[in-house]
């Protein structure tokens, strides 16, 4: 993604800082809203393909945004998926020239509230680059 090529090292540092603070974070994926990967981090041993998680993130963005626009009459901001043992959050980053979706997965030891705070902080930092 050309927009973030100049910020690749900054994104890596932001992801590394976030994952070093919270060992429960298993995955961070920044993707375009149409499902292309920008930057992906996954814990060693986590079998996730960047293209697959980016495409899923883009799809969830599209569905969440359509529902949010239709029912709530506002743009999509955040979605959560709760599962046995882990949770995933998806946040939209509205940039100047393009929009992105940030996905973060963490084990259940990191509460949903803490996951929300963490992903929103990271999204705020990334939005400064977008």
Q: What is the mean pLDDT of residues 80-86?
A: 93
Q: The domain spanning residue 86 has which CATH number?
A: 3.30.450.30
Tens digits of residue pLDDT in 17-42: 999 999 999 999 999 999 999 999 99
Dist CA 130 CA 117 (whole Å): 20
**Number of folded domains in the chain?**
1
pTM: 0.91
Its domain, for residue 108, covers 2-129
56: left (phi > 0), else alpha (psi -120 to 50), else beta?
alpha
Tens digits of residue pLDDT in 86-125: 999 999 998 888 899 999 999 999 999 999 999 999 999 9
Residue 1 has a pLDDT of 47
């Amino acid at each position: 993604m050309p927009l973030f090529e100049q910020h690749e090292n900054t994104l890596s540092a932001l992801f590394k800082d976030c994952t070093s603070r919270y060992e429960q974070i298993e995955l961070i994926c920044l993707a375009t809203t149409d499902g292309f990967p920008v930057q992906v981090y996954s814990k060693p041993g986590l079998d996730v393909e960047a293209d697959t998680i980016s495409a899923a993130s883009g799809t969830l963005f599209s569905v969440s945004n359509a529902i949010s626009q239709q029912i709530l009459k506002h743009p999509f901001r955040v979605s959560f998926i709760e599962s046995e043992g882990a949770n995933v959050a998806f946040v939209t980053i509205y940039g100047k020239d393009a929009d992105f979706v940030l996905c973060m997965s963490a084990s259940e030891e990191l509460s949903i509230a803490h996951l929300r705070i963490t992903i929103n902080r990271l999204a705020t930092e990334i939005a400064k680059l977008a």
